[in-house]
Structure formats: C-alpha cells, structure tokens
Structure 1
Amino acid sequence: MDTTKGDSTVTTRRIDIIDIHVHVRTGDHAKVWERDRYVPANQEGFSDHPDAMADMYRELNGMAVIFDIDDETRTGLKASNEEIAQWVARHPDVYIGFGSVDPWKGKAAIIEVERCAALGLKGIKFHPAVQDFAPNDPRFFPLWETCARLGLAVLFHSGTTMAGAGQPGGAGIRLEYGRPIPYIDDIAARFPELRIIMAHPAWPWHEEQLAILRHKPNVFMDLSGWAPKYIPESVIRYANSLVQDKVFFGSDFPMLTPHRWLREFAELPIKDSVRPKILRDNAARFLGLTHLVEHALPASE
C-alpha cells in the first residue's frame, strides 16, 4: 500500500536497502536485446524484466533507482525516459526513476532534461566513456546548469568500463572520460549546487575519487559494479570512516545481482553504525526519502 506525500513515495512496508544503480532496457535498447536474445548477464537466474525486478526488490525489503543510457549519437540506439517513468508509476513502492539524455544533442538535450523533471524523474544518468564526451567541456555546461536549476541529481559512470572490452580498440571507447580528476572535480567546482554521484569505485583512479569526496560537499559515490570482495581496500577504509555519509549501495543489476553484493558486503569489516548508512540511509537522505530513515524498523522487527 502506498500513498504520495509531496514528491516522495511513502511505503508502509519495511525498507532495508536502496540500490541506487539498476539498469532497465528501454526504447531501442530493449528491442535489440529481445531481437538478439542475449543471455542474462547475471548468473543467479534472476530475471531483468522490470516487473520481476520489482518483485525481487520487494523480497529484499528494498527500493531501486532505475535508468537506461541514451547513447544515440554514438550507437544509433535511443533510450526512452517515458518508459522509465511508466515503470516507476507501475511500481511506486519500489522504483525511483532517473532519466538519461545524449549530451551531444544540444538544445534537444536540455529540453529532454526538462521533460525528465516533468515526468517526475529524480536524476539524470550519464556514461561519458560510452557517450564519448568530456563532462567539463564548456559545450555541456548548459546541461549541468539545467540539472542544478531543476534539482536533478546527475549520476556519472566513473573508472573503467567493460563496455567494448576485448573488441578492437575497445570499440572506440576512451576510458579517460571516466576519470574523476579533472572531469568530475571540475564541474563540481563550477556548479556547487549540482548534486553529483560518481558511479562505481573509479578504478584505477579511485584515489582521485576519494579526494573529491573529501573536498567537494556536492559529490557522492556508489559502490556498484564491483563484487564487494574486489572493491579496492582504500575505498572500503574511507567508506567505513571519513566518507561514510557520502557512499551508497549499488549493485549494477543485471550485471551483478544485489543478492551477491549483499552477501559479500556482509563479510567486509564495516562498522555496525556505518552499514545502514551505506545500505539505505545515505541514499534516502539524498533522494529526499527521509521518512525511511526517521521511521526505520529495528532489524529484529
């Protein structure tokens, strides 16, 4: 049972986790996926259909931020923000929607960001390496100005990527665009009201990522895309201490299941006081879902 209070969905069920990094295929991406009958990326048998995903997160007492990536200029494939909004409307107790825009579309990209806000989406996902752009290029400053003005968070892929891995020339994808310094640091300095999430431990530049987290109040990170046992030790150490209020749980489903991520996270030397921050509380505050923290049930209930 759900009610709406302002812009936030209020759920009466218990919420233990918020997965801030979950992929949903929309538009052309969904058509290509179905046409080519790809084998699901995860190996634990969980469906990546959004209805099944919603049930999966309900069983985990969780919520999830869902999005696609619009890389039409580079690949010819367009994502659909309307479909993201439709999945959120279908499962409002589970899903929070982020849109995606192709930054190379100029004024059309700005209009699409505004439309994402009108659709009720809470942020915009970018993948600089896949979308082939440098976030600190002045040509894209109007995007960051618009997102800041509308209160939309921006989620940037950071670090290396498996997209194009093993293909000739890495399919033309330049890993440098996933580097936190100068790209994320620059726009965080220029647009202090812009709320930024760096997706993934930014290996091999994770030390730069940690420096930005300490220096820029408007920058956060998620731990998605890495099985916790492989997350660099320095990232775990800082997440457990100096940046414990700026780190979010993320799985990168369907690339990695939340089940595996949570199993391995439970084995890490994380303080009991920090675990709920990473798993739920930090994201709840960032997304304006403070009721999930204020009315959280003890683990024994």
Structure 2
Amino acid sequence: MIVDCHVNIWDDEHVLPHYVSGTAMARHGTIGTVADMDTVYAAMGGVDKAILFSLRYHDSAGIDGNDEVTARAVAKYPDKFIGFAAVDPRRPDAMDLLVHAVEDLHLKGVKFGPIYNGVSLLDPRMVPVYAYCVKHNLPLTMHMGTTFAAGTPIQYGKPTDVDEIARRYPDLKMIMAHLAHPWAEECIVICRKNANVYTEVSAIFYRPWQFWNSLIAAQEYRITERNKIFWGTDFPFATVAESIEALQTVNRFVEGTPMPRVSQETIDHILYSNPLDHWWHGGFPG
C-alpha cells in the first residue's frame, strides 16, 4: 500500500497572481497552478490513498483555498481521498471554521503553515487548535522548513518549536512536513525523542544531495524503522512517479564511492509507510 500523505488541492479561483510569480523561485519542472479535485484524482492514480488539504496562504504564497473544496473532493472520491482542514489562526473565525470542517465536513486532520501564516507554534492563538486536535483525535500536519515566499518569518519554519509543543501536548500527533528542510537533522532528532512527532519527505527529492544526506541521517538515527518518517509528493509541486523514482534511486550520486548507502529497507520503510496506522490514536477512524 502506498499513501501520499501530502497533497494540495484548490480551485482555479483560489490562485492569486503572486502565487504564479513566486513559484518561479521554487522549482522549475512539474510545478503547476492546476490542482482541482479531478486533476488531483488523476495525478494520484499511482497511490492507494491520498491525504489532501487546501491552503489559506493568501498573503504569502498566494493560495486562498477553503475546506469546502477538500470536502467536495473527499465526497466524490471517498475511496482515494482523506481530507484535512486548513487553519489560519490569525482569523477571528479560525476556530469556527475548524469546528465546521471537522464536525460538519468530517475532515480527519489539520494542516497549518506557521511560516506562511506568520504565526509561531508557540503563539497563544494556537492553544485552542491544539486542544481541539487532542479532543477530537486529529493529527496536525505542519509545513516546517523554508519557503519560496518573500516576507515570511523564517524562524517559524524551524523545527525546534515542535519539540516544545510536543512536550506540552504529549497526546497531540504532530507531523513535520518536508523534513523541515534545510533543518532535516534537527527534525529527525526531534522525531526520535518525541513519541508523538513524525515527519515526511514530500518535496525534498529535487535537491538530491540534501535528500540523500537527510535520508542517511534518518537511517543513522533509526527513525525509519520506528515508523516515524512517511512518503508524500506535495502535488502539484511534484508528481507521484518522479517522487517514487527519486526515492528508489537516491543512491545514484554515490555509486562507485565509499559513501554510505540508503538501504533498501529504509527506502521501503518510507515508500510503504502507512500514516493511517500511526497518526491517529488507535489507527485511522474511518
């Protein structure tokens, strides 16, 4: 079973002009602006399940999505999609929207981007979000690491705040997206020491040297064998096929050298990891 744990969804009207200009700084290749539910469904043909969410990053990355687009996709393709709510704690109605997303739209987790929303994980506005997640058994996926978007507070993307929140809320399942690049080793050691913290590898492979180094560190700290690191694409920023190929060929740059190898066991642990067994207390609620 292959689960893509990080898939973005939005309708065309959610894409603002500065998203198109800003992504030019992120990556050339498969980045696109089209991520409606039918496009996403077609793109996810190579996986069994996909966890998807829209983004409320209107003033930073230029996507102003909503939870309704996520819920409609899940309703149309329930055998493929699992939906997460998006939270922007700056909004006065943030908790009302979250309650609606979970209790009316039946979304199963929460997505938050501290660097994009300009809100630290330690900000008091996050306290009701954490409490609600714990009460309703909702995993919290966080964009950790850097971004292409100008004007974002880089310190909020660093993983050290996750360590503090993990100790304050030991029953909160937290997932650091993108291995918190470029702070992957900090991300890995925080995952290792906190039973409630996980990470994933979406959108890392197109920096191949960083990708290889990060997976070697994950292997040496043995978090892969403990089911702490998961696989995803970050579609439309990468496709399923290239994300799988990059993981399976991660050692290609060190062939013929004495450098260590990412083992096949590590590769398989990541590719066939199943968040549905781990991110919810008692397993995915269905």
- Calculate the TM-score normalised by the size of structure 1: 0.77
Structure 1 runs not aligned, ≥5 long: 1-15, 165-169, 292-301
User: In structure 1, what is the equivalent of residue 258 of structure 2?
Assistant: none
Deviation of 1:156 after TM superposition, in Å, equals 0.8
Is the counterpart of residue 240 in structure 1 residue 219 in structure 2? Answer: yes
- Partners of 1:205 and 1:39 in 2: CA distance: 21
Structure 1 Cα separation of the partners of residues 23 and 211 of structure 2: 29
Equivalent residue number for residue 274 of structure 2: 282
Secondary structure at 1:96's aligned position in 2? strand
* Equivalent AA in structure 2 for residue 243 of structure 1: I
Deviation at 1:158, TM superposition (A): 0.9
Query: In structure 1, which of residues 255, 261, 266 is the aligned counterpart of residue 248 of structure 2?
Result: 266
1:156 aligns with 2:148: no
Gaps of 5+ in 2: 251-260
Q: Secondary structure at the match of 2:244?
A: helix
What are the superposed Cα offsets for residues 67-112 of structure 1, whole Å, 9 maximum, x if unpaired? 1121357789742212201101101121111110211124x21222
Greater CA deviation, 21-30 or 151-160? 21-30
Residue 195 of structure 2 corresponds to which residue in structure 1? 217
Over 3 Å counting, the alpha-carbon distance change for 1:250 and 1:136 in structure 2 is same
> Aligned equivalents of 2:126 and 2:44: distance in 1?
35
Query: How far did 1:243 drift?
Result: 0.5
Whichever residue aligns with residue 125 of structure 1, its letter is K
1:184 to 134, 137, 162: 162
Map of 1:95 onto structure 2: 81
State the percentage of identical aligned residues: 28
- Give 3-state SS (helix, strand or coil) of 2:179's partner: coil
Q: RMSD in angstroms over aligned alpha carbons? A: 3.1
The one-character-per-residue Cα deviations of 1:46-84 (angstroms, maximum 9, x if unpaired) are: 9633213213322x1432111112135778974221220
Q: Is the 8 A contact 1:201 1:231 kept in 2?
A: no
Map of 1:25-174 to 2, 5 A cutoff?
A: 25-26=10-11, 29-30=14-15, 32=16, 43=29, 48-58=35-45, 60-71=46-57, 78-106=64-92, 108-118=93-103, 119-162=105-148, 164=149, 170=150, 172-174=151-153
Q: Secondary structure at the match of 1:53?
A: helix
Question: Do the aligned partners of residues 76 and 282 (structure 1) sit closer, same or farther apart at CA in structure 2, a change above 3 Å counting?
Answer: closer
SS in 1 for 2:140: strand
Q: One-letter code of the match for 1:235?
A: S
CA distance in 1, matches of 2:110, 2:14: 17
Q: 2-side partners of 1:178 and 1:157: how far apart?
A: 7
Residues 185-233 of structure 1, C-alpha deviation per residue, up to 9 Å, x if partnerless?
1111111111100000223322211110111110000101112624344
Q: TM-score, normalised by structure 2?
A: 0.81
- Aligned pair count reads 264
Compare 197-206 and 72-81 and name the one that shifted more: 72-81
| Kept after mapping to 2: 8 A contact 1:159/1:179 | yes
